[in-house]
Structure 1
């Protein structure tokens, strides 16, 4: 049995983020399903793993974490010698840039992108109606963030540097969901952003994450 355990569900964007890091590193792990449809994430034993009643949660021996970005950073640093580098090797400038763009994802991109993902992706999935006005407003806000990305990606192949890092990986769940909706136009309207999306979503590790969502 794998020492590493990830508690979550493959359709959860936060779980997907942690899964991507595990696959990038080629680590053996056990994905322990949490039945969120029955509210198991709000009850014991899961509430002891994640006190906010959310997924994922993570165990690696005596290391027990929740919050997907904390999990991905632990994986990248603890297993630095395994699989693909998620902190691009380089000087302090490169390392600082990686941290900076990870913050940009969490503070600037994610809040807008996930609201738009709810409107465009999850509402139809759950038989709810999308609010067109809200979606349009959110697309405008996301477009302003992506204008900054477009400029940055004209200077660097990936967000932090010329290597794929956690700064890119953290975007994958929301990008994947939005590219399956009409909101893909916000990405496609920006050539450098569109190229970047194509590159990060074509990674082998990401294909493995998506494979977990297919019914067996």
Structure 2
């Protein structure tokens, strides 16, 4: 199925290379082989102050199409828009069927509201540490991992029929998890995924995708 319409003109992504949210949008662009221009706001943020002041909540990343003056903020909203607009035969990351697509949407919501908050908490503690004693920090990590383990149990059950979260193919429900997985798999928390065979197999299927490899190459350069 072809995209809904052809959008010509420049496609601009304002974001930050060290942002998980921007990584999510990079993956979407690369999966759909969409040409775009990336503006790293961290380099010279003052150059983009006027534009970013127009964005609700000042949230990054921001996607802009010069033709039609479309502006979209929020990485999951951008991901959803691009995946609907640029779906092509054999590479659809959504479903045409509303019944199937609502499953995709449900798992995107699950990632946003359940998986991401816990993953982000662990990643931030790993990156920055906390103003706590070592004992307090370890206790906080253990408690967060305990909550994440409960979420992964739900994922393990969901994956008992298919290799992917929302049916028999890779969709945006899987893609949206990649930025957090990238960091968690470098941490001791990785064991929570390895202890669940279906979750471990799911990670092994989605993380080596060529589009995601391009994202990793960008952020690690």
- With structure 1 as the length reference, what TM-score do the two structures score? 0.88
- In structure 2, what is the Cα distance between the partners aligned to 1:207 and 1:5? 21
Partner-residue secondary structure (3-state), 2:18: coil
Note if contact 2:25-2:75 (Cα within 8 Å) is conserved in structure 1. yes
Following superposition of structure 1 onto structure 2, how do residues 24-103 of structure 1 map, counting pairs within 5 Å?
24-35=31-42, 40=45, 44-48=49-53, 50-61=55-66, 62-81=69-88, 84-89=91-96, 91-103=97-109
Note if contact 1:49-1:57 (Cα within 8 Å) is conserved in structure 2. no
Change (3 A) 1:13 1:185: same
Q: Which runs of 4+ in 1 moved over 3 A?
A: none
Structure 1, unpaired ranges of 5+:
none
Shift of 1:111: 1.3
Q: Find the structure with the greater CA-based Rg.
A: 2
Shift of 1:47: 2.6
Note if contact 1:20-1:206 (Cα within 8 Å) is conserved in structure 2. yes
Note if contact 2:103-2:166 (Cα within 8 Å) is conserved in structure 1. yes
Name the Cα RMSD after superposition: 2.6
Following superposition of structure 1 onto structure 2, how do residues 143-158 of structure 1 map, counting pairs within 5 Å?
143-158=149-164
Partner-residue secondary structure (3-state), 1:195: helix
Structure 2, unpaired ranges of 5+:
1-8
1:142 lines up with 2:141 in the alignment: no
- In structure 2, what is the Cα distance between the partners aligned to 1:7 and 1:27? 15
1:167 lines up with 2:173 in the alignment: yes
Partner-residue secondary structure (3-state), 1:118: helix
The count of residues paired between Structure 1 and Structure 2 equals: 209
Other-structure match for 1:191: 197
Other-structure match for 2:23: 16
Cα displacement string for residues 27-82 of structure 1 (whole angstroms, at most 9, x for unaligned residues): 0001111117x8x38x7135335332332111123210110000001101111237
- In structure 1, what is the Cα distance between the partners aligned to 2:31 and 2:41? 23
Residue number among 212, 218, 221 corresponding to 1:212 in the alignment: 218
Note if contact 1:88-1:161 (Cα within 8 Å) is conserved in structure 2. no
